């Protein structure tokens, strides 16, 4: 049978070994196989795929420093076709190979003649480039769009990137390689702790390894084929209490101490990158792992924000300040361990689920209580909503009364006086009215019950049954999906709580109806987000 022959990389420059290319894609770079030891050459400097039937080699430059084909520097991440006799310079001017295809019948004439001595005459001029082919769109386009360029293995340089404005930074240490198994860790309280014993570090030097086992365990993960990644929330960067350069400096010293390559995701403020949200992980998956699919069964995350209760006695410890690490792992269906379980093989401690559990939320079956209550009245009426910020009043009103009742809302009209005037005008015209305000106290509701009384119109009260914990979740959800809504802070929520009085029929309502939140979403993305843990406890 006819053999497809061989493809040989014949050294023509530098003291490096010839390499026989197999059928499978091969990384050529700093390795025992090539004997290249030079630090300016990445381990995966170029990816070469030989096609024996076509007698071509697909070349993709991946290294931090350039490689060239026939004297022309290859754009990083682009595929180039090299033919028999072409020259690939793994490091231009230093390490070059000539590509030689052989077959059983006929050895190309020059193949055996290739010697380090003839390199000069064989290197074509820069404009004699070999067949350059697009791998991912236009070269200009791909160089401006980082997501399209396969990332480098960064064996030479370290890098710091802020792919989404200043919301997130990714620091990649020297030697990080994309892998499908991810060993990921929180930093504060997991990898390091303060030297001072303070909860927050006093200064940039106030740290020490949290457990003496940290370097050993991480080294073992690295050796076992895991990519080691840190995910840290550093909101003080957005608050300008900490400079990103200073924090990265600290991270570098931590990674130097552990002495293995680590990629570090630094979330600087609020939003989708902040744990327990999964933005950092998604970014790793989509843009910082060379498109390599992550093996979720093998991968894991370790963090100290695990929602553990305080314990007394021998192993006395304070309650965890948050549950954001565990909740991020739960959002991702990723294996999770606390640092004590991971580094010390301690037994798992009980932990508290958040009061509102979006992942396991089973909505009530009935929208209204009592179940017999009707959404709309046969004749003109007024409905006064009662519910905290974020309890779901507007969503309920929009879904059920848009185009049917006059919707009166202070968010739109500005003042309660305008709301009362708008309600009166609509009722005078024979239109039913629904008042979409928080209306926490008797005083605020009285404005409408009195109006109804004056106009001899029945008035019902619809009270959101949403718990405060669910409302907080919904506010966090809204912040992500509708940034146009005014932000709600704890002060606003507490003000509602302190004013709140349960509505009664004695106030002039003909009935009080409780309203449940039955989630309905505009798309699957929103639905998935709603069912994730968005708050840190």
Residues forming contacts to ligand ATP in the complex (CB under 6 A) are: 387, 389-395, 411, 438, 474, 477-478, 481-482, 488, 517-521
What number of other Cβ atoms are within 10 A of residue 234's Cβ?
Answer: 20
Give the Cα separation of 527 and 41 in Å (integer): 47
Listing DSSP states for 135-203 in one string gives SSS-HHHHHH-GGGSPPP--SS--EEE-SSTTSEEEEE-TT----SEEEEE-SBTTTEE-SS--SS-SS
Query: Whole-number minimum distance, CB 153 to ligand ATP, in Å?
Result: 42
Q: Tell me whether residue 177 or residue 384 sits nearer to ligand ATP (CB atom).
A: 384
User: What sign does the dihedral 333-337-342-348 (CA atoms) show?
Assistant: negative
Q: Tell me whether residue 279 or residue 392 sits nearer to ligand ATP (CB atom).
A: 392
SS3 category, 247:
helix
Query: Whole-number minimum distance, CB 437 to ligand ATP, in Å?
Result: 8
Closest to 421 measured CA to CA, from 463, 429, 486: 429
Query: Whole-number minimum distance, CB 508 to ligand ATP, in Å?
Result: 23
Query: Whole-number minimum distance, CB 496 to ligand ATP, in Å?
Result: 9
In the beta sheet, which residues pair with residue 452? none
Q: Tell me whether residue 349 or residue 375 sits nearer to ligand ATP (CB atom).
A: 375
Angle at 422 between CA 417 and CA 423, to 5 degrees: 100
Q: How long, in residues, is the chain?
A: 537
In the beta sheet, which residues pair with residue 6? 102
Q: Tell me whether residue 334 or residue 534 sits nearer to ligand ATP (CB atom).
A: 534
In the beta sheet, which residues pair with residue 172? 159, 263
Q: Tell me whether residue 307 or residue 390 sits nearer to ligand ATP (CB atom).
A: 390
Closest to 208 measured CA to CA, from 222, 196, 220: 196
Query: Whole-number minimum distance, CB 385 to ligand ATP, in Å?
Result: 8
Q: Tell me whether residue 442 or residue 518 sits nearer to ligand ATP (CB atom).
A: 518
Q: Tell me whether residue 274 or residue 393 sits nearer to ligand ATP (CB atom).
A: 393
* Cα 349 from chain centroid (whole Å): 28
Query: Whole-number minimum distance, CB 516 to ligand ATP, in Å?
Result: 9
408 secondary structure, DSSP code = E
Q: In degrees to the nearest 10, what's the CA dihedral of 394, 398, 400, 404? A: 120
Query: Whole-number minimum distance, CB 367 to ligand ATP, in Å?
Result: 9
Closest to 288 measured CA to CA, from 164, 436, 178, 435: 178
Query: Whole-number minimum distance, CB 390 to ligand ATP, in Å?
Result: 5
Q: Tell me whether residue 138 or residue 411 sits nearer to ligand ATP (CB atom).
A: 411
Listing DSSP states for 494-533 in one string gives HHHHHH-----GGGT-SEEEEE------SSHHHHHHHTS-
Q: Tell me whether residue 200 or residue 521 sits nearer to ligand ATP (CB atom).
A: 521
Query: Whole-number minimum distance, CB 77 to ligand ATP, in Å?
Result: 39
């Amino acid at each position: 049978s006819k053999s497809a022959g061989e493809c040989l990389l014949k050294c023509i420059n530098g003291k490096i070994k010839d390499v026989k290319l197999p059928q499978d894609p091969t990384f050529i770079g700093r390795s025992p196989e090539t004997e290249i030891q030079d630090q300016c050459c990445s381990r995966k400097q170029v990816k070469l795929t030989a096609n024996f039937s076509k007698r071509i080699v697909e070349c993709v430059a991946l290294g931090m420093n350039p490689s060239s084909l026939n004297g022309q520097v290859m754009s990083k991440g682009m595929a180039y076709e090299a033919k028999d006799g072409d020259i690939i310079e793994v490091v231009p001017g230093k390490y070059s190979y000539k590509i030689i295809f052989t077959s059983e019948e006929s050895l190309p004439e020059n193949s055996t003649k290739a010697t380090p001595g003839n390199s000069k005459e064989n290197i074509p001029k820069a404009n004699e480039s070999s067949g350059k082919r697009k791998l991912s769109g236009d070269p200009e386009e791909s160089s401006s769009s980082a997501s399209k360029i396969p990332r480098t293995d960064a064996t030479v340089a370290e890098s710091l990137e802020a792919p989404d404005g200043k919301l997130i930074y990714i620091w990649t240490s020297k030697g990080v390689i994309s892998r499908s198994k991810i060993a990921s860790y929180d930093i504060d309280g997991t990898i390091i702790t303060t030297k001072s014993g303070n909860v927050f570090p006093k200064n940039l030097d106030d740290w020490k390894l949290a457990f003496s086992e940290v370097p050993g365990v991480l080294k073992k993960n690295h050796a076992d084929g895991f990519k080691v990644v840190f995910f840290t929330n550093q909101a003080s960067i957005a608050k300008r209490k900490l400079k990103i350069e200073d924090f990265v400096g600290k991270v570098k010293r931590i990674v130097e101490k552990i002495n293995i390559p680590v990629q570090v995701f630094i979330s600087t403020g609020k939003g989708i990158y902040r744990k327990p949200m999964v933005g950092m992980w998604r970014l790793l998956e989509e843009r910082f792992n060379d498109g390599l699919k992550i093996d979720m069964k093998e991968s894991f995350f370790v963090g100290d924000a695990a929602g553990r209760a305080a314990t007394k006695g021998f192993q006395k410890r304070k309650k965890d300040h948050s549950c954001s690490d565990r909740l991020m792992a739960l959002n991702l269906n990723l294996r999770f361990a606390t640092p004590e379980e991971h580094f010390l093989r301690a037994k798992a401690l009980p932990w508290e689920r958040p009061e509102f559990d979006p992942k396991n939320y089973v909505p009530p079956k009935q929208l209204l209580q009592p179940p017999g209550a009707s959404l709309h009245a046969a004749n003109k009426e007024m409905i006064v909503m009662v519910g905290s910020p974020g309890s779901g009043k507007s969503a309920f009103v929009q879904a059920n009364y848009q185009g049917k009742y006059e919707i009166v809302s202070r968010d739109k009209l500005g003042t309660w006086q305008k709301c009362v005037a708008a309600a009166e005008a609509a009722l005078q015209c024979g239109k039913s009215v629904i008042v979409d305000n928080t209306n926490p106290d008797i005083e605020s509701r009285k404005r409408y019950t009195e109006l109804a009384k004056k106009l001899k119109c029945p008035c019902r009260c619809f009270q959101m049954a949403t718990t405060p914990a669910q409302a907080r979740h919904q506010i966090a959800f809204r912040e992500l999906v509708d940034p146009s809504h005014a932000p709600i802070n704890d002060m606003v929520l507490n003000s509602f709580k302190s004013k709140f009085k349960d509505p009664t029929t004695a106030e002039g309502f003909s009935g009080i109806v409780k309203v449940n939140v039955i989630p309905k979403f505009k798309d699957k993305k929103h639905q998935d987000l709603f069912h994730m843990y968005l708050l840190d406890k």
